[in-house]
Homo-oligomer: A and B are copies of this chain.
Amino acid sequence: MSGLKQQLMLRVENDLNDIEAALQQNLNPHVELVREVAGHLIFSGGKRIRPLLNMLCARLCGYTDEFIKKFSTIIEFLHTATLLHDDVVDEADLRRGKPVAHSIWGAPVTVLTGDFLLARALNIAAETGNPKIIRIISEITENMCQGEILQLIKKGDVNLSEADYMDVIRRKTGFLIQGACQTGAILAGAPEETENRLAQYGYHIGMVFQIADDLLDYTADTQTLGKTIGADLKEGKLTLPVIHTLEKSAAQDREWLEHLITGKKFSETEFDTLIGLMHNTGAIRYCQTIAETHVREAKQIIGSFAPCPTTETLIMIADYTLNRKA
| Residues in chain A within 8 A of chain B (CB atoms) | 29-31, 33-34, 82, 85, 88-90, 107-109, 111-116, 118-120, 122-123, 125-129, 131, 134-135, 137-146, 148-150, 152-153
Contacts and interface: CB of A to CB of B under 8 A. Distances in A.
- What are the 7 tightest A-B residue pairs by CB atom distance, in nearest-first order? A119-B141, A89-B108, A123-B138, A126-B134, A129-B131, A115-B145, A122-B138
24 contacts: A31-B153, A34-B149, A82-B115, A85-B111, A85-B115, A90-B108, A112-B146, A112-B149, A112-B152, A113-B145, A113-B149, A114-B115, A115-B145, A116-B142, A119-B138, A119-B141, A119-B142, A119-B145, A120-B138, A125-B138, A126-B134, A126-B137, A127-B135, A134-B134
B122 A34 contact: no
Contacts of A129: 131
A137 B120 CA distance: 11
B127 A141 contact: no
Contact of A149 (B109, B127, B139, B142): B109
Given A122-B122, A135-B127, A116 B146 contact: yes
A78 to B, nearest CB: 10
B141 A30 contact: no
A118 to B, nearest CB: 6
Given A33-B153, A141-B115, A134 B148 contact: no
B108 A135 contact: no
Nearest to A118: B118
A119 to B, nearest CB: 4
A35 B139 CA distance: 17
A30 B146 contact: yes
A21 B138 CA distance: 23
A172 to B, nearest CB: 10
- Most B-side CB within 10 Å, residue of A89, A120, A123, A128: A123
A80 to B, nearest CB: 13
Contacts of A115: 82, 85, 114-115, 118, 141, 144-145
A139 B34 CA distance: 15
Q: Which of A89, A125, A145 has the most CB of B within 10 A?
A: A145
B119 A126 contact: no
Nearest to A123: B138
Given A131-B126, A135-B126, A112 B145 contact: yes
Contacts of A141: 115-116, 118-119, 122
A33 to B, nearest CB: 6
A90 B109 CA distance: 11
A145 B34 CA distance: 10
A88 B113 contact: no
A129 B128 CA distance: 11
